[in-house]
Amino acid sequence: MSTSRTVICLLRNDLRLHDNELFHWAQRNAEKIVPLYCFDPRHYVGTHNYNLPKTGPFRLRFLLESVRDLRDTLLAKAVCHAVTSEELHVEKKVKEICAQMRVKVHTCWGSTLYHRDDLPFHHMSRLPDVYTQFRKAVETQSKVRPVFPAPEQLKPLPPGLEEGAIPMAQDLQQTEPLTDPRSAFPCSGGESQALARLKHYFWDTDAVATYKETRNGLIGVDYSTKFAPWLANGCISPRYIYHQIQQYERERTANQSTYWVIFELLWRDYFKFVGVKYGNRLFQVQGLQDKSVPWKKDMKLFDAWKEGRTGVPFVDANMRELAMTGFMSNRGRQNVASFLTKDLGLDWRMGAEWFEYMLIDHDVCSNSGNWLYKAGIWLYGDYVRQWIPELQGISGADAHTPWTLSPAVLSHARVSLSETYPTPIVTAPEWSRHVNKKPSGSGPSPRGKKGPSHTPKQHRDRGIDFYFSRSKNL
Ligand code: FAD
């Protein structure tokens, strides 16, 4: 086998040819290209804390479809940088082995809308802890890069090298899942399907123009984009979606809905960059607040939750949908996560690890980030402390509800209500209900802050009742 100017493209969550810097770079720098995807056995063992199976049948099927689709594309043409510690560990090892074998390593960053190097913060440690600050900074000071064109023809494999076999689910100790006709995600993996989905959602049905009104739906395929599973595997590029939205806005219509898809993609970016900033803190039980909460580890309650047997029909319906299809709407996820952490008081990592196993679109940063939000151990309160220095001494989200704190806590924080800071002139009933729901008795109140996927208006309008309110979709 010739080794001169051969580039091995080690693929991970970037299973696409369009807007793929790796192939673009290889095409320009190699005579021969070896695209390589490794099925890492560690992805098929137990989860970190609760030893649940790590990759469930729906996600595995989607992954196998995605690898197969990319291989077909690459064959027809004849011929990315990690975030979390597990990924970084693999990357480090690969680099070590390559160094021993005198193979040069070139890494690319390709999974986010805004490139890591284009963020308007001098160092990742300066990344804001508040999403809105992050969003406003990138929207005003950064630019989304153009997409890399897909190569017309890809350089060939080195002579003597043949493409390997793609494993079957059974080879990875899994069974093929059954397909449920009620699934809100009846789609297959792969770049071709991802691009077809975008065409359908944008250009064929104009569903994107009403996304903001429909995105909290529960039944059917088109209430939201359903891009997440393809994004998680890199079958579609967020930059490509962005530029398609720009084109759609030029040629059809620009409204709140078209913008809101970008707004949500920015949440995805934000969680990834927070993962870079805080590393493993994103996965620790104390969360980013470093707050010790007496979570329960009651397996009976957990089993009832994951099997959809809690007796709360809305929670049960969502959990059964997840188990039978590998997908759950954003609204469903918000509810069942609240229920697990707030109402059952269970360790948020139990829920996160069950989601890791079940979700086709599992993304380690989005999953943990959203769970921390729901568990109330995200970095709340910084915004309040920035503008209300009188409350500087109160840590975490408690800064949002000083009137609920004990005299001892207030005195420790040097806050004297009615003296150094006013008692509320009015307390909406929702506030007191949030506060009463806290598992720790004085823990944070995440719904008092804008969390992911909460539009400001929805947020104003919805308290805890939102989650169990009737809608035409229920
Ligand atoms: P759309 O509503 O069409 O949104 C478009 C895209 O924006 C999504 O594909 C996704 O990439 C991004 N997005 C939307 N909402 C969020 C959000 N809250 N956080 C981050 N990105 C968002 N999303 C994942 O991709 N992987 C996960 O593992 C994951 N785990 C979650 C766990 C919990 C507890 C919660 C509450 C949310 C989680 N989400 C996760 C976010 C969100 O629920 C899904 O991205 C969304 O439901 C996927 O459907 P969609 O592609 O139709 O989304």
What residue ranges define each of the domains in the chain, with the CATH number in brackets?
1-108 (3.40.50.620), 110-148+191-283 (1.25.40.80), 285-375 (1.10.579.10), 387-467 (no CATH)
d(CA 382, CA 385): 5
Ligand 1 binding site (Cβ under 6 Å of any ligand atom): 215, 224-228, 231-232, 261, 264-265, 267-268, 271, 329-330, 333-334, 337, 355, 359, 361-363, 366-367, 370-371, 374, 452-453
Specify the residue with its C-alpha closest to ligand 1, atom 25. 228
- Predicted local confidence at residue 337, as pLDDT: 96
Centre of ligand 1 from the C-alpha of residue 261, in Å: 11
**Tens digits of residue pLDDT in 283-317:** 999 888 777 889 999 999 999 999 999 999 999 99
Q: Is 361 part of any known ligand binding site?
A: yes
**Tens digits of residue pLDDT in 47-80:** 888 988 889 999 999 999 999 999 999 988 754 5
* Cα of 350 vs its chain's centroid, Å: 17
Contacts 24+ apart (CB under 8 A), 20-26: 20/110, 20/148, 20/150, 20/237, 21/80, 21/108, 21/109, 21/110, 21/148, 22/80, 22/108, 22/110, 23/148, 23/150, 23/151, 23/154, 24/148, 24/149, 24/151, 25/106, 25/108, 26/155
Q: Shortest CA distance to 4 belongs to which of 153, 158, 142, 114?
A: 158
Whole-angstrom CA distances from 443 to 393, 396, 400, 437 are 16, 9, 11, 9
User: What pLDDT band is residue 474 in, cutting at 50, 70 and 90?
Assistant: very low
Contact in structure between 315 and 335 (CB atoms under 8 Å): yes
User: What pLDDT band is residue 460 in, cutting at 50, 70 and 90?
Assistant: very low
**Tens digits of residue pLDDT in 105-129:** 888 888 999 999 999 998 999 998 8
Q: Where are the beta strands (DSSP E) in 172-229?
A: none
Q: What is the largest CA-CA distance in the chain?
A: 81
CA angle 66, 69, 75 (to 5 degrees): 140
Specify the residue with its C-alpha closest to ligand 1, atom 47. 330
- Predicted local confidence at residue 41, as pLDDT: 83
Q: What is the DSSP letter of 43?
A: G
pTM score, whole prediction:
0.83
